[in-house]
Amino acid sequence: MGRQLWRSIAFVGAVVTLTVSCGWAAAIHAAEVSADQVEGRWASEGSTSLTFHEDHTFTAEHFDELPVSSDCAEPSALSSGRWAFYAPAESGQINAADENTTRGTVVSLIFSAGDCEVDAYLFGDEDDPVMCPTGDPDAGCPSDGYLRRNQATASGS
């Protein structure tokens, strides 16, 4: 390979490394979706599922199997709660979950039991996003931890 090709490869590698290490990966791959797109059942390849309702409640099955649940006091009690998108922050403000926000890239899951709040990041294509409940969006989810929207409930939720 020529010197020019190696420089190009090195440049692309450096950009990718900086993107991931500087926390930009989540922003670059984030999918902004509407509340309507969140409503319904989302399931992982494992046995975890979340079902989101229009009234901003949700139910969870086997959420304790995800690594992020270990940050909660009672992982086995994580079965329901309330959800909201983070509202865009105004200058000098901190983002906060707000049920009046109708679109977003991050969903706050506030569980009824165990005094636990988990963020779920939306990645990929806006028309077919995946959800990753995690404490670090750049770390992602285990391969069987990404949740996909169940298309059977997409129109009938």
3-state helix, strand, coil split of the chain in percent (to 5) is: 25, 35, 40
> With contact defined as beta carbons under 8 Å apart, do 12 and 107 qualify?
no
Which tokens go with 52? 């989101």
CA distance 96 to 45: 30
Q: Which element (helix H / strand E) includes 81?
A: strand 80-86
**Mean predicted confidence (pLDDT) in 15-44:** 70
Q: What is the pLDDT of residues 97-112, one digit of tens each?
A: 999 999 999 999 999 9
Query: What predicted TM-score, i.e. pTM, was given to this entire model?
Result: 0.76
Going by C-beta distance under 8 Å and a sequence separation of 6 or more, which residues neighbour residue 84?
56, 97, 98, 99, 101, 107, 108, 110
